Amino acid sequence: MYNAVIIATYNESYEILAPTLQAVLNTTYDKKRLIVVMAYEERGGEQIKKTTERLKQEFQNSFFAFHTVMHPKDLPNEVVGKGGNITFAGHFLKDWLVEENIDFKDVIVTTLDSDNRPHKTYFDYVTYEYIVHEDRKHLSYQPVSLFLNNIWDAPAPMRVVATGNSFWNIISSMRPHTLRNFASHSQPMEALVEMDFWSTRTIVEDGHQYWRSYFYFNGNYSVVPIHVPIYQDAVLSDTYLKTLKAQFVQLRRWAYGASDVPYVAVRIFTKNRHVPFYESLARFFRLLDGHVTLASVSLLIAFGGWIPLLINPDAFRDPVAHQLPDIISATQQIALIGLVITVFMAFKLLPPRPERYKRHRNVFMLLQWLLMPITAIGYSSFSALYSQGRLFMGRYLDKFDVTDKATYKDKENK
């Protein structure tokens, strides 16, 4: 079995990309069965081309094969995004495998972002799951994304968001019936070739790949949880203000996955349906519920009890409406218990403190959780409302806004 790794990059620095390749190299899987494809963008400029060539010189002898593939800009029927890049790299990989006489059935493809660092047993785990399942072509494999690479360097609001997202991914991995593709994941080459790889028409190609696969295989598709992490960066840019903005832009892009709601609906509520109705209906409502909840739950917990009274002052006379603030207050107190548990678990997840930080940094790691109500509303809810509002008004997002990826060294050099 071969594992092919497509690493998508736009214009990230050597300091970001080299640790990713080193992490792949440090895995326990046989390196003579690992194929690396560095997929970079022409629009990223001359520097990224030089960076990928430098990486090729350093790592090409460490794997079975190492390729750099430039994705041309302005190809027809493509939005500016990652989907077009990795699809172009996928076609290159397909042609190369044919030349090498390697059967598609013997290849699993993993897509990584430029800052992703897989757990050392990741490829062993994926290969095992691929082998033990008979209907392997109709499966994909989803690791747990943990945004911890640079958690000590990121500003407090970003640490709260990153830790919250990490916990959500852990929880999702324990609910296989609700699990969908997110960020980095693996899928058999055989299936990818049949499906023409990933969508080039959406900026959320990861989550959309779940639905493309589900409908392409007429409902015979599921995601296998891989209970080891792929470590990713928390949002970190050159300045504090740029970092705050970059975090919103990232969450806005993720929330644009709401564009899958009509995509799924028109394929379920039709006479020409090719998927089981009740099963697909349950999946559709989970999708819809997830996006509605993301946009509304923080606002409802914070302000829901007062809305009826603000709209209609006479609501004070209604016993139920009069008690709403007390009910919401009790809900908030219960949520506070969950927050205490979250804080405790967050400290358990933290990587070792870098030597450049003193012990008092731990105090700030605790105090950061006072920002959770602000990040929940200002980032989670507002980014979802923004993306859903654009969809509602037909102002579609047709460009993948690359998340800034700065390192501590980059910031020191500014």
Residues 135 and 227 in one domain: yes
Does the structure show a pLDDT above 70 at 138?
yes
Question: In which domain, by residue range, is 300 found?
Answer: 267-413
The answer on 307 and 396 residing in a single domain is yes
pLDDT in the model for residue 216: 98
What is the C-alpha separation between 201 and 397, in angstroms, rounded? 11
Phi, psi dihedral angles at 252 (to 5 degrees): -60, -40
| φ and ψ at residue 250, rounded to 5 degrees | -65, -50
- Residue 108 sits in the same domain as residue 146: yes
Q: Is residue 254 part of a domain?
A: no
- Give CA–CA dist 249/237, Å, rounded: 12
d(CA 56, CA 45): 18
| Total domains present in the chain | 2
**Within a domain: residue 260?**
no
Report the candidate in 206, 202, 212 with the shortest Cα–Cα distance to residue 138: 212
Q: Which residues contact 293 (CB under 8 A, 6 or more apart)?
A: none
**pLDDT tens digit sequence for 115-133:** 999 999 999 999 999 999 9
Give yes or no: residues 47 and 184 share one domain: yes
Answer yes or no: is 28 within a domain.
Answer: yes
Q: Are residues 281 and 315 in the same domain?
A: yes
Q: Is residue 256 part of a domain?
A: no
Calculate mean pLDDT across residues 280-295. 97
Amino acid at 218: N
- Please answer whether residues 222 and 278 qualify as being in contact, where contact means their C-beta atoms are separated by less than 8 angstroms: no
For 121-208, strand residue ranges (E) read: 139-146, 186-188
**Distance in angstroms (rounded) separating the CA atoms of residues 252 and 347:** 27
Stated length of the chain: 414
Question: What pLDDT is recorded for position 315?
Answer: 65
Residues 199 and 209 sit within 8 Å (Cβ to Cβ):
yes
Q: CA 29, CA 3: separation in Å to the nearest integer?
A: 9
What is the C-alpha separation between 33 and 119, in angstroms, rounded? Answer: 17
- Residue 235 included in any domain: yes
Name 39's bridge partners.
8, 69
pLDDT at 338: 84
Are residues 193 and 96 part of one domain?
yes
The answer to whether residue 305 sits within a structural domain is yes
Q: Which of 15, 24, 209 is nearest to 116 (CA)?
A: 24
Q: What is the pTM of this model?
A: 0.93
The b/e string for 10-45 (b: 16+ C-beta within 10 A; e otherwise) is: bbbbbebbebbbebbeebebeeebbbbbbbbbeebe
Query: Helix, strand or coil for residue 37?
Result: strand
CATH number for the domain harbouring residue 42: 3.90.550.10
Mean pLDDT of the chain: 93
Confidence of residue 163 (pLDDT cuts 50, 70, 90): very high
What's the CA angle centered on 193, arms 187 and 197, to 5 degrees? 65
Q: What is the pLDDT of residue 179?
A: 94
Does a structural domain hold residue 261? no
What's the pLDDT at 339?
A: 85
- Do residues 182 and 131 share a domain? yes
Tokens of residue 55, six digits:
């990486």
Does residue 166 share a domain with residue 30?
Answer: yes
Does the structure show a pLDDT above 70 at 408? no
Shared domain for 13 and 54, answered yes or no, is yes
Q: Could you tell me what percent of the chain has a pLDDT over 90?
A: 84
Residue 251 lies in a domain: no
d(CA 68, CA 92): 10
Which DSSP state fits 181? -
Lowest mean pLDDT among 27-31, 149-153, 214-218, 312-316: 312-316
Of 25, 51, 26, 47, whose CA–CA distance to 38 is shortest?
51
* Same domain assignment for residues 228 and 334: no
Say if residue 104 is in the same domain as residue 195.
Answer: yes
Alpha helix segments (H runs only) across 240-353: 240-255, 260-268, 277-303, 307-311, 319-349
Check whether residue 209 and residue 330 sit in a common domain.
no
Alpha carbon 168 to its chain's center: 11
Q: Which pLDDT belongs to residue 371?
A: 96
